[in-house]
Amino acid sequence: DHVLTTSLLLGNVPARHQNNDGSVDIDTLFRIGRGRAPTGEPAAAAEMTKWFNTNYHYIVPEFSKGQQFRLTWTQLLEEVDEALALGHKIKPVLLGPVTYLWLGKVKGEPFDRLTLLKDILPVYQHVLAELAKRGIEWVQIDEPALVLELPQAWLDAFKPAYDALAGQVKLLLTTYFEGVTPNLDTIIALPVQGLHVDLIHGKDDVAELHQRLPVDWLLSAGLINGRNVWRADLTEKYAQINAIVGKRALWVASSCSLLHSPIDLSVETRLDTEVKSWFAFALQKCGELALLRNALNSGETAALEEWSAPIQARRHSRRVHNAAVEKRLAAITAQDSQRENPYEVRAEAQRARFKLPAWPTTTIGSFPQTTEIRGLRLDFKKGNLDANHYRTGIAEHIKQAIIEQERLGLDVLVHGEAERNDMVEYFGEHLDGFVFTQNGWVQSYGSRCVKPPVVIGDISRPAPITVEWAKYAQSLTDKPVKGMLTGPVTILCWSFPREDVTRETIAKQIALALRDEVADLEAAGIGIIQIDEPALREGLPLRRSDWDAYLEWGVEAFRINAAVAKDETQIHTHMCYCEFNDIMDSIAALDADVITIETSRSDMELLESFEAFDYPNEIGPGVYDIHSPNVPSVEWIEALLKKAAQRIPAQRLWVNPDCGLKTRGWPETRAALANMVKAAHNLRQAK
């Protein structure tokens, strides 16, 4: 994680993870991410949150008053030496000091973390001096915070910071994920030698940038999308930049780091030839940059036209357009996103139907994906196992999950999702309009990768997706079993979207497909249906001024998905990695009967926003962190729940973990859930 390695570079290690002698090693890095003290005892992992509006998560730096910084981790310098030894011309990358502070959180006594800037700059100066010693000409220094609507004090911090860093090497100030025009006055006053801009996600005008940037600056033009899988129309890119060729120093580049794109399209052997011709992964994007550079230098564009032909032909492909979907989308009315009655009326009907105790216990959806379950799916995928044996195996795992939950004494059960590889991929595989890669992995955090589906065309549901297994699980118990769907905004955010229609269009197409799934689950006797929207907040545009439009269609998509449910059907939603304060109106507007959220890592801080907003419906604040193998004690869980009850009336509280349990093992899962159920029982008795 480039943020965590920057923390180590600066010697910023939380005290609980620190070696006694102050040294930093690879174990320190893992302890911060996984939650261990040097003794091997559990110690809270550092928080993890989204890197801007991408699907990558970084480890959040922690800052305390009077903190000291020094160069303690030289991974960057070692890697530079290695690359130089191989004879490459290289451009090392540093996360800039202002963005680094912006991304962190204050721990302990409150103070303004920007005051630490003067203390971290000497370490940056030291690193730049070391790079200069090695003959490095250019250093890329990433300040993506410059695309945000920053408070004035933060904008003002850039000039003194860069005055301190100037003079040792050439600095390429690098931004991405949005345009820089609103903050250009701040940028052009800095003593740097070049600027990188994201020309995909930003609305910056190349001619205006050229006109306003100092004449001796290099412009690095982010023309190739580093966050998607689509082949670029290089004829368009050529036209976009050609006018300034020869007028200033110019580099062509990807819009952002290629971390967000899969690596190599050539290893995809099963993709349909036509579909494959529409894609370009990281290596192919580097090839696109070379083609573009050659054409801009020579003026010869034939190679660009040849490269761009497949993506131009796609515009008329039958795989992309489905008239029935487009017609249904056009016919949506306001009524389609309204439940029959308001929450108070629905809650009465649901209480009468389910008769749940106070502090009802449940889990978020998935249970451990054991080697056995993964092996079963792999054998089936490879054709070593026929459909009947596969189904028998999955049914057995679902049965075991129900038995485990009954034994633990949970109130609302789940089927455990043994049949699902991934909460988005599973739905994508059953919806028309998606394709899947074999090896299209991208890093999610640390050592975890995900393989996002690709939306290639209009989306529809050819047949029910989850009904059969939900119905089977419900047949095994008298307790309610939740139906489990991934919501439209999350499926959109965790897939590679089309680039020829708006994100709103894609989200609403998914919502209509899953609306039919809700109706089918209800008809099959499933009384509680959870529609997970963990990505609602992370889909937010980076600039607050763009939020309202996004939230309006995001909420509408969820409601289109859910509103077909009858009053007595309880709709749950789940959200994680979230800070809600700034979007409470929209969370309430989803009108889910119950919302479960991730709160344990932030010690119930999140509930402040629900209390302040006077959130009207039911809420399940997560009582333990599933990203860590540590088992919470009964006392710890009770304390968190009591804390929650100070903010939300107890009769509207649920008891659940933070997230699904897919990545955990059974022993720690049993132990943690047993403690959770015990804590709920203790609180019922204490009434």
Active site residues: 627
Q: Contact 437/478 with Cβ under 8 angstroms? A: no
Beta strand 442-445 pairing with 448-450: antiparallel
CA 337 – CA 340 distance, rounded (Å)? 10
Cβ atoms of 557 and 508 within 8 Å: the answer is yes
Q: Most distant CA pair in the chain: distance in Å?
A: 80
Task: Tell me the backbone φ, ψ of residue 342, rounded to 5 degrees.
Answer: -70, 170
Long-range own/partner contacts, residues 376-380 (CB < 8 A, 24 or more apart): 377/419, 377/421
Half-sphere exposure of 178 (CA within 13 A, CB side): 22
Residue 458, classed as helix, strand or coil, is strand
List Cβ neighbours of 131 (8 Å cut-off, separation of 6 or more): 77, 80, 92, 139, 168, 169
Residue with structure tokens 């904008």?
A: 155
HSE toward the beta carbon, residue 231, CA cutoff 13 A = 23
Number of alpha carbons in the 13 Å side-chain half-sphere of residue 478: 3
String of DSSP letters for 117-156: HHHHHHHHHHHHHHHHHTT--EEEEE-GGGGS---HHHHH
What number of other Cβ atoms are within 10 A of residue 263's Cβ?
15
Q: What is the dihedral of CA 298, 304, 306, 310, to 10 degrees?
A: 180
In the numeric block, which tokens belong to residue 151? 């408070």
Give the C-alpha separation, 655 to 412, whole Å: 10
- How many beta carbons lie within 10 A of that of residue 472, not counting itself? 18
Residue with tokens 């928080």: 47
- Terminus-to-terminus CA distance in the chain, angstroms? 46
The residues, any chain, with a CB within 8 Å of residue 184's CB and separated by 6 or more, are 209, 212
